Amino acid sequence: MIIKNYKNKTVLKGMSLKEIEQWCQSQELSNFRAKQIYQWMYRHGVSEADNMKNLSKDLQKKIDESCVLETLKIEKIDESNTEPTQKILFKTIDNHFIEAVSMLEGNRHTICISSQIGCNVDCDFCATASMGLIRNLMTGEIIDQAIAIRRIVKTPITNVVFMGMGEPFLNYNQVLSAAHILHSHDGFDLGAKRITISTAGIVPKIEKLIEDGYKYKLAISLNATEDDTRQKIMPLNRNWPIKSIIKSASRFAARKGHNVMFEYVLLKGINDTAEDAVRLANLIQGIDSKVNVIPYNETDGKYQRPSTETIEQFLKILNKNKKGFRILVRWSKGEDINAACGQLAVTNI
């Protein structure tokens, strides 16, 4: 259940400008005050009303007494010993835990944020699946991950990816609300193409994203080239098989300037053969897309990363057979602190 009130206080953090305007109207305040509050919370990252300097003392007191401006507390920060990557453990106001990741590469600062506490999509190779699903995150809890990272890392955030804990499209409304705040000029002011929403393949929500006309980037975790294999590692394939995913991805990418990213996690002996590489190239030919090949980040030992030779051979064959798509290889960051792709899971607090 989404928490809208906490200890009889209104959770202001996460509200859109329109929602803050409605709150202001209920308090007999002008809409002008709503924009000020919006900017203080999101552009400036203020979490205490008395720091909203252009508000009256009475309004500051009203907000302090009746509203929640901060939904998360930092519980722990793990820093990689090999690269400028940090994993941040947050505690929610109802005493659950989520994780987010900050990754630096030159002037590029990418953050990976969570959309749910746990996940019930149950991808067999993903550590988050071991938690099950506790609940969806509020918009404020999603945004507060970004605000907290912005405070502790000096390099400005350049890119946001919804690839942390949870399936973003199973919390569609809250994720899109958070994306709008990240995109807003009065919020984080990030270009739409710097915000990526990742899905395991919830086809109806891909279709909804197309219909809604938003310009955010889309990443789809494909991870197999045959339904039998994909169904074993990603059970949701029973509902939305590869053919339906490719069809929706093609529709998404058919719009001008809207290419799609296919994520392909390489698992030893599962989806890493030469035949897989050829089938992958054939599946996505003609779609304006990129393929992000991700050598598996090991968790519990059930799956392994292919050998370097196998990875190189897969890439060589994929490159030889590619038709109109780009190939990227993501050697994930933060493996030494379990912050890499597929490793986020709250186990020991």
What positions carry a catalytic annotation? 99, 341
Rounded-to-integer distance, Cα 111 and Cα 97, Å: 18
Q: Which residues are bridge partners to 294 per DSSP?
A: 265
Is 301 buried (19+), middle (13-18) or exposed (0-12) by CB count in 10 A?
exposed
Report the half-sphere exposure of 17 (CA within 13 A, side-chain side). 19
Rounded-to-integer distance, Cα 104 and Cα 110, Å: 6
Phi/psi for 189 (5° steps) reads 60, 40
Rounded-to-integer distance, Cα 188 and Cα 142, Å: 13
